[in-house]
């Protein structure tokens, strides 16, 4: 399992180790550079002193050349060679070091038998003096100076690691407290976590979790309310069906049995309709969108209107309602055809249910003033009061209209809720308006594009 604490320790200690190595290397380069400056000055002083010694007249014999391959003396830390201006070497303690004759004054790098030297040449009127020192000796001194930093750096890294462990333990305490509070939450306890005392780094996480808890709590509340409303709505038709069955069993003649059976069929029809609407509403939920997805395809609105009117023509005729169609929009939308059919079916069914005999219902597809396609259903029925037009989209709300006062047996209060939910899923907004001439109701389903 991935550990935040272990990861921070590994990265921090890795950074400390890398920084320590880098510091030692930088220290080595810096010390070697400073040492070169100091020791070059020392070589200059040595060469100048030797030149003065020979200029005082204490001359030595010319040193014969060392035969090739003959081993020289051990290479010390500091050697000197002296030549006359004509290039002839003078004998001396370090004459075995056969450095080349270079009459130019100043510091330089030299190679002798594969070994690198650092030299400084001084030229006076009679002699050329070279003072030289092995580069390896300088590098060794720089390594020794830089290596002295390793132990303090190691101790410092261990100290920082110990302090970091303590700091992480203390710093992660609020995270543990938040974890404990989260562990105490359940489906019955969805209260937000108190983030007032949390560090600033944890507050966005706590805020996001509290937002999630609020959404879950709202969803649970909505679900519980939906279940309670559905149980209440289902109880009435179930009770009615049982009552009609009892009446059927107690009927004394065929006519009473036929009446009881007809009433039972009506109750079953209402119960079936209510169950269908509950299923439609559940499919319009956000989680259902993610699970099933929208089956989008071009939908011809004119054809949708004509098919819907044809499907409800017999129902309208039985109720003596004039059902008409207006389909000349030549518009199509990218939507789920099944869901648009459900939307239009609910609107037409509602209109046919509430419009009295002899009334009129029109179903149409057209373009709004801004050119956007829309579906609409208008009627000359009782309509919906302006004060109730916002609430009629709530689940199971049936308002206080004339049909409720008369004890409407089949309205469930789900039709417009389904229309709004499915319309929103398919990129449409639903609005209510007065019918033609200010009477009745017109429902418009306006799409955001065609």
For 190, the 3-state DSSP assignment is coil
Question: To which H or E segment does residue 151 belong?
Answer: helix 150-171
Distance CA 142, CA 25 (A): 10
Looking at residue 400, its pLDDT comes to 61
Query: Which one-letter DSSP state was computed for residue 186?
Result: B
At 323, is the pLDDT very low, low, confident or very high (cuts 50, 70, 90)? Answer: very high
Distance CA 117, CA 112 (A): 7
Please write the tens of the pLDDT for every residue from 118-145.
899 999 888 899 999 888 888 888 888 8
Query: Is the distance from CB of 24 to CB of 149 less than 8 angstroms?
Result: yes
Of 96-105, 162-171, 288-297, 438-447, which gets the smallest average pLDDT?
288-297
Looking at residue 431, its pLDDT comes to 93
Terminal CA-CA length for the chain: 51
Please write the tens of the pLDDT for every residue from 329-343.
889 999 989 889 989
Q: What is the mean pLDDT of residues 422-443?
A: 88
Looking at residue 63, its pLDDT comes to 36
Residue 357 has pLDDT above 80, yes or no: yes
Inter-helix orientation angle 415-425/337-354, to 10°: 150
Strands, sheet with 428-434, edge to edge from the N-terminal-most edge strand: 322-327, 360-367, 373-379, 441-447, 428-434
Query: Is the distance from CB of 58 to CB of 82 less than 8 angstroms?
Result: no
* Percent share of the chain, pLDDT over 90: 19
Higher pLDDT, 436 or 362: 362
The full set of domains in the chain, from first to last, is 4-61+75-147 (3.30.450), 203-283 (1.10.287.130), 295-447 (3.30.565.10)
Residue 408 has pLDDT above 80, yes or no: no
Number of other residues whose CB lies within 10 A of the CB of residue 270: 19
Q: Which residues, 6+ apart, have CB-to-CB distance to 228 below 8 Å? A: none
Looking at residue 189, its pLDDT comes to 73
Please name the residue ranges forming H helices in 172-300: 173-183, 203-250, 254-283, 286-292
* Percent share of the chain, pLDDT over 70: 82
Question: To which H or E segment does residue 341 belong?
Answer: helix 337-354
Of 116-125, 170-179, 229-238, which gets the smallest average pLDDT?
229-238
Looking at residue 69, its pLDDT comes to 47
For 365, the 3-state DSSP assignment is strand
At 187, is the pLDDT very low, low, confident or very high (cuts 50, 70, 90)? Answer: low
The pLDDT mean for the chain works out to 80
Q: What is the mean pLDDT of residues 394-415?
A: 58
Distance CA 410, CA 269 (A): 9
Distance CA 246, CA 249 (A): 5
Distance CA 285, CA 237 (A): 25
Which residue, among 147, 159, 157, 143, has the nearest Cα to 19 in the 3D structure?
A: 157
Please write the tens of the pLDDT for every residue from 66-83.
444 444 444 446 888 888
Please write the tens of the pLDDT for every residue from 237-294.
677 778 878 888 888 888 888 888 887 887 787 777 667 766 766 666 555 444 455 6
Looking at residue 326, its pLDDT comes to 92
Query: Is the distance from CB of 340 to CB of 402 less than 8 angstroms?
Result: no
Distance CA 325, CA 365 (A): 9
- Paired tokens of 140: 């060794």
Looking at residue 362, its pLDDT comes to 94
Looking at residue 68, its pLDDT comes to 47
Residue 26 has pLDDT above 80, yes or no: yes
Distance CA 163, CA 184 (A): 32
At 320, is the pLDDT very low, low, confident or very high (cuts 50, 70, 90)? Answer: very high
Looking at residue 404, its pLDDT comes to 44
């Amino acid at each position: 399992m991935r550990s935040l604490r272990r990861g921070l320790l590994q990265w921090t200690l890795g950074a400390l180790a890398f920084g320590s190595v880098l510091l030692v290397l930088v220290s080595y380069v810096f010390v070697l550079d400073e040492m070169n400056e100091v020791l070059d000055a020392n070589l200059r002083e040595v060469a100048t002193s030797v030149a003065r010694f020979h200029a005082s007249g204490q001359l030595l014999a010319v040193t014969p050349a060392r035969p090739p391959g003959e081993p020289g003396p051990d290479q010390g830390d500091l050697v000197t060679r002296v030549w006359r201006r004509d290039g002839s070497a003078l004998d001396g303690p370090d004459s075995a070091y056969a450095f080349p004759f270079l009459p130019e004054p100043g510091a330089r790098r030299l190679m002798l038998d594969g070994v690198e030297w650092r030299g400084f040449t001084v030229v006076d009127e009679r002699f050329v003096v070279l003072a030289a020192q092995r580069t390896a000796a300088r590098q060794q001194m720089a390594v020794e100076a830089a290596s002295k930093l390793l132990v303090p750096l190691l101790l410092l890294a261990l100290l920082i690691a110990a302090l970091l462990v303590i700091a992480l333990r203390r710093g992660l305490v609020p995270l543990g407290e938040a974890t404990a509070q989260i562990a105490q939450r359940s489906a019955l306890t969805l209260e937000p976590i108190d983030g007032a005392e949390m560090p600033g780094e944890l507050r966005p996480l706590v805020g996001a979790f509290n937002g999630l808890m609020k959404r879950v709590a709202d969803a649970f509340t909505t679900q519980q309310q939906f279940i309670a409303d559905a149980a209440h709505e289902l109880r009435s038709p179930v009770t009615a069906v049982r009552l009609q069955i009892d009446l059927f069993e107690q009927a004394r003649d065929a006519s009473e049995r036929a009446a009881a059976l007809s009433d039972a069929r009506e109750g079953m029809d209402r119960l079936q309709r209510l169950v269908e609407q509950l299923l439609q509403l559940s499919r319009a939920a956000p989680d259902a969108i993610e699970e099933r997805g929208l089956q989008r395809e071009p939908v011809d609105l004119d054809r949708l209107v004509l098919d819907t009117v044809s499907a409800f023509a017999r129902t309208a005729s039985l109720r003596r309602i004039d059902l008409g169609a207006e389909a000349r929009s030549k518009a199509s939308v990218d939507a789920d055809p099944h869901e648009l059919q459900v939307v239009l079916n609910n609107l037409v069914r509602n209109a046919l249910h509430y419009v009295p005999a002899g009334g009129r219902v029109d179903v149409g597809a057209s373009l709004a003033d801004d050119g956007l396609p829309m579906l609409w259903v208008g009627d000359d029925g009782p309509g919906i009061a302006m004060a109730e037009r916002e609430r009629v989209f709530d689940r199971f709300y049936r308002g206080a209209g004339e049909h409720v006062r008369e004890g409407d047996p089949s309205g469930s209060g789900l039709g417009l809720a389904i229309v709004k939910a499915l319309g929103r899923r398919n990129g449409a907004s639903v609005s209510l308006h007065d019918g033609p001439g200010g009477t009745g109701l017109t429902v418009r389903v306006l799409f955001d594009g065609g």
